Amino acid sequence: MSIADTADALTERRIKEIHTLVLMSDAVNRGIYRNVPVMIRGALHTPPQPYLVAPQMEALLAEYEDMKRERHTIEAVAEFHLRFEGIHPFVDGNGRIGRLIINLELIKAGFLPVNIKYTDRRQYYDCFDSYYGNGHKPDAFAELIAEYEKKELERYIEIVEGKNNLTREREA
């Protein structure tokens, strides 16, 4: 059984486990929240001081459970990601961890994983500016995730239709 097979709530422990795997070669920082202040270059938002990381992550995880009950999965995942990245809980690897969490949560909810492409990074970063500069509305990022999800579904349909065509050709 994998972590994506379970309906378990996303937890601090799970996030730190994922971080440990991603930062395997960084024995000092892997799996622990940062203890130094950080800045995100070019961002409209400044991450909280280190002593606020743990309580803000705890609050985010509790609120995320409510978001999942009250909103569409994609909207909840989008807001979680924007807030997670705003907290910037780790010294390194926050973006990678955040994008892995997006896919973990999408898969757990029955959606396909999405690949936020490097070529779309400007649009991705604009979503953060929209969120932090526009009253904390995750709409732009939810739309981006939904568009990626739609493209993945279309790709899967093409694959299935292609296989069906091959099967029919073989049977003819």
The per-residue pLDDT for range 67-124, each reduced to its tens digit, is 999 999 999 999 999 999 999 999 999 999 999 999 999 999 999 999 999 899 999 9
Q: What's 111's domain CATH number?
A: 1.10.3290.10
CA contacts within 13 A on the Cβ side of 4: 13
Closest CA to 3 of 156, 15, 77, 114: 15
pTM above 0.75, yes or no: yes
Three-class secondary structure of residue 134 per DSSP: coil
Q: Which of 19, 45, 81, 88 is labelled catalytic? A: 88
Q: Domain containing 164: what range?
A: 3-171
Domain count, the chain: 1
Q: Is 88 annotated in the active site?
A: yes
The per-residue pLDDT for range 8-67, each reduced to its tens digit, is 899 999 999 999 999 999 989 999 999 999 988 878 889 999 999 999 999 999 999 999
Closest CA to 98 of 47, 150, 49: 47
